[in-house]
Homo-oligomer: A and B are copies of this chain.
Amino acid sequence: MKFDYILQLFSPKDKKFFPLFEKASANLLDVSKILIKALKTKDIGERDAYIKEIEQLEHKGDQITHDIFHELSSSFITPFDREDIHNLAAVVDDILDFIHGSAKRIQLYNLKQPSKAMVDLAELILQGNEQLHHGIMALKDLKNIEKVKEICVKINSIENLADDVFDTAVAKLFDEEKDAIELIRVKEILQNLETATDKCEDAANVLESIIVKYS
């Protein structure tokens, strides 16, 4: 019975939730790649253009989240636990918000040049979101439970790496930076990037709580 249940969920008949989640995690991949470009370029005009793109993808992601919540509220029957659907959509939206928040602060705070640690964190965000996208795609097939578990372990390792990058960068900042306003700029952007990886770990926890019901 449980088997039927999950088959029904991810069979091509589920035209509602799965395609929306697939769109949401693909959008996260797009935005993560642009974030790296925005942090790496030394051309301010180019950076501003990337940040504008991130803003547009954030609006797109908001719309997808909205659509998932709308489907959830208007569906009396849902493929899996309403709470899991809600939590997964909310946490994917959180990741996007912190990526967008990082990018936006570069502009608002008038940061001269993103640091190496920021690029490193953005690359870890991309890696985490790649795993998350694979994890969401893997939910399609009951045979993938072990694969999803492995993905969750990988996301946890990525978050640990991000913690290390963040800790080292913040300690160095408080050690070396004498300009308080510059310290605020860098610290808050690092914080937003690091929180994006935390949220990715939260997403892995939701995936785990979904698969544990079928294992």
Contacts and interface: CB of A to CB of B under 8 A. Distances in A.
Interface of A: 66, 69-70, 72-74, 104, 107-110, 167, 170-171, 174-175, 177-178, 180-181, 183-185, 187, 205, 208-210, 212-213
Given A180-B184, A181-B183, A209 B174 contact: no
Contacts of A74: 212-213
A24 to B, nearest CB: 16
29 contacts: A69-B205, A69-B209, A70-B208, A70-B212, A72-B209, A73-B208, A73-B210, A73-B212, A73-B213, A74-B212, A104-B167, A108-B167, A108-B170, A108-B171, A108-B174, A109-B170, A109-B174, A110-B171, A110-B174, A110-B175, A174-B181, A174-B185, A178-B181, A180-B180, A180-B181, A181-B183, A183-B184, A184-B184, A184-B187
Contacts of A185: 174
Nearest to A104: B167
A76 B167 CA distance: 40
Copy number in the complex reads 3
A182 to B, nearest CB: 9
A200 to B, nearest CB: 16
Given A70-B208, A73-B208, A109-B170, 16 more contacts: A66-B205, A69-B208, A69-B209, A70-B209, A70-B212, A72-B209, A73-B210, A73-B212, A74-B213, A104-B167, A107-B171, A108-B170, A108-B171, A174-B185, A178-B181, A184-B184
A148 to B, nearest CB: 13
Contacts of A184: 180, 183-184, 187
For A108, A183, A209, which residue has the most chain B Cβ atoms within 10 angstroms? A108
**Across chains A and B, which 4 residue pairs bring their CB atoms closest together, nearest first?**
A180-B180, A73-B212, A73-B209, A108-B170
A102 to B, nearest CB: 14
A38 B213 CA distance: 41
Contacts of A180: 180-181, 184
Contacts of A175: 110
